[in-house]
A and B are shown apart, each in its own frame.
Chain A
Amino acid sequence: MSGVRTLLGLGLLVAGSRLLRIKSETIACRSGPTWWGPQRLNSGGRWDSEVMASTAVKYLSQEEAQAVDQELFNEYQFSVDQLMELAGLSCATAIAKAYPPTSMSRSPPTVLVICGPGNNGGDGLVCARHLKLFGYEPTIYYPKRPNKPLFTALVTQCQKMDIPFLGEMPSEPTMIDELYELVVDAIFGFSFKGDVREPFHSILSVLKGLTVPIASIDIPSGAGTQKMGQGRLGPYPPDSCPHQV
């Protein structure tokens, strides 16, 4: 149906012993050979390849993910700006490792970043900005913008860096396939609940028909975080798994 989907989690920010111990609860997916397998991530030697390959990746339920977030904000006094910046930077880094500019056919490679109405969308805005610095040519579609200083500032940063914002969503998957080599899905994150409202329902339908790869930030938008198979993006392709970058 569609190309490889890469799922990107928030960077693992806190390694201290005081972090709430999260009991893992798997989101149903089949683990298979993964592109991040035994490769060493070489940004500053951050993770041992042994750690990456041997330690089981913990999957968080929605409640656990929200609890981690709350602990970071309330106990550790992180601000949303900080975490969002780190998340967006990590995602851009992961995308650039998965789809390096040299492997793409255009120079600079064109990327469409679709940002939702909440924090996942904010992550997408930061990600787009860093992708621009990494030598990609991002375009953003951001239909529902919260009226909060954090988000207006992030939009300004992107605009000032000449990252265009689309006025409308292309209505056919082939239109996107022709213009962009990669799509970043920053629509809904782990706190998403309930039904998908417009305009996102139509957007997700268009994305389902894409042939170019999609990189989803944190979770594939619209996928039920607890249950498999309810994804609005359709059934999970079995070779993708959420993971922490």
Chain B
Amino acid sequence: MVTRSAFEAPPEWRARRVGGREENSGHPLPPGSVLKRRWWWRQRPVPRLTSAMSSAAGPDPSEAPEERRFLSTAEAAALERELLEDYRFGRQQLVELCGHASAVAVTKAFPLPALSRKQRTVLVVCGPEQNGAVGLVCARHLRVFEYEPTIFYPMRSLDLLHRDLTTQCEKMDIPFLSYLPTEVQLINEAYGLVVDAVLGPGVEPGEVGGPCTRALATLKLLSIPLVSLDIPSGWDAETGSDAEDGLRPDVLVSLAAPKRCAGRFSGRHHFVAGRFVPDDVRRKFALRLPGYTGTDCVAAL
């Protein structure tokens, strides 16, 4: 058999479909040859019209609407709905990808080799909703990454996803605190950093109950680094109006795309984490996301 380099280009007179476009190197066909349509050429799905393209009075489809960098709370919910309903992603998949990417973001902001033993201890504070679930996944991946997470998860959700994620953490010997000291100095001394996974966008602080609210009050006084997942808990997701007397995280890890209140973030690092938004969805929401490099699931802003 003729050995050929794997990277040798195919004979130039054959046009081939790449990405739905006919590609032809421009060389003329040898006389008498017939350009055969390969039977296995991919059956591409009919391109779907985006809402911008389908509206009759809409803008010229060749001009992308001006892209922006932040999502409102309603848009974030709509994007999630599109992924869950149209794309048939499972909530578990997305939570897993967000939690894993959040853990990777933590490792970028606080690389393990530079940390002392004490600094590797991480307190992950989880609320009862989806933000908390992401925190549980994040804690588990931090454990795999050889950090030493401890979880404070006072208001445990009864839904199956949260229960399973809790079991996974328990079985990996990640301790769960039964109470959080109100004396912040105790936290500063026991841990190297804290991950705030209490409240996500669209969840009112009043909805989550006493222990979480008290935990947030304590975290406001923290002197060790604080990493907030998606939005700093307690901030208004639209306006960031609690930015002054709310949590002041050092690191913000926006999940999938930054929310509006991220505009008021003034800490050290802002990452976008969770590389799963398909290009079509990104364009539909006119989102400009930072460029991820290589196989990274986290990008710094």
- Known A-B contacts A44-B103, A85-B97, A93-B295; the reply to A79 vs B164 at CB < 8 A is yes
Which residues on the B side are within 8 Å of A161 (C-beta)? 87, 278-280
A228 in contact (CB, < 8 A): no
A170 in contact (CB, < 8 A): yes
- Known A-B contacts A164-B44, A166-B42, A175-B40; the reply to A133 vs B145 at CB < 8 A is no
Task: Mark contacts of B276-288 with chain A using CB atoms, 8 A cut-off: 1 yes-contact digit, 0 otherwise.
Answer: 1011100000000
For window 1-52 of B, CB contacts with A under 8 Å fall at: 1, 3-11, 14, 16, 18-20, 38-40, 42-45, 47
- B145 with A46: CB separation less than 8 A: yes
For window 55-95 of B, CB contacts with A under 8 Å fall at: 86-90, 92-93
- A105 with B93: CB separation less than 8 A: no
For window 182-205 of A, CB contacts with B under 8 Å fall at: none
- A79 with B42: CB separation less than 8 A: no
C-alpha gap A86/B280 in the complex (Å): 23
Among A89, A165, A179, A212, the residue within 8 A (CB) of B97 is A89
- B16 with A44: CB separation less than 8 A: no
Among B8, B92, B173, the residue within 8 A (CB) of A81 is B92
C-alpha gap A12/B144 in the complex (Å): 9
- B92 with A15: CB separation less than 8 A: no
Task: Mark contacts of A142-169 with chain B using CB atoms, 8 A cut-off: 1 yes-contact digit, 0 otherwise.
Answer: 0000000000110011011110111111
B206 in contact (CB, < 8 A): no
Tally of chain A residues near chain B (CB < 8 A): 60
Among A17, A46, A78, A157, the residue within 8 A (CB) of B173 is A17
Among B16, B89, B163, B292, the residue within 8 A (CB) of A179 is B16
Tally of chain B residues near chain A (CB < 8 A): 62
- A92 with B43: CB separation less than 8 A: no
- B171 with A181: CB separation less than 8 A: no
Secondary structure at the B interface, as helix, strand, loop or mixed, is loop
- Known A-B contacts A15-B143, A43-B104, A81-B90; the reply to A108 vs B296 at CB < 8 A is no
- A45 with B107: CB separation less than 8 A: yes
Which residues on the A side are within 8 Å of B164 (C-beta)? 77-79
- B295 with A160: CB separation less than 8 A: no
- Known A-B contacts A45-B112, A108-B19, A167-B40; the reply to A14 vs B87 at CB < 8 A is no
Which residues on the A side are within 8 Å of B104 (C-beta)? 43-44
Stretch at the interface among A26-34, A62-70, A96-104, A113-121: A96-104
For window 192-210 of B, CB contacts with A under 8 Å fall at: none
- B295 with A43: CB separation less than 8 A: yes
Which residues on the B side are within 8 Å of A167 (C-beta)? 40, 43
19 contacts between A and B (CB under 8 A): A12-B144, A18-B173, A43-B296, A45-B145, A46-B107, A76-B167, A77-B163, A77-B168, A79-B92, A81-B93, A85-B96, A104-B7, A105-B7, A106-B18, A108-B19, A110-B18, A152-B88, A156-B87, A168-B40
A-B interface, 5 closest residue pairs, ranked by CB to CB distance from nearest:
A164-B42, A16-B172, A44-B104, A153-B88, A44-B107
Residues on A close to B: CB < 8 A?
3, 12-18, 43-46, 75-79, 81-82, 85-86, 89, 92-93, 96-97, 100, 104-106, 108, 110, 133-134, 137, 139, 152-153, 156-157, 159-162, 164-170, 175, 177-179, 181, 209, 211-213
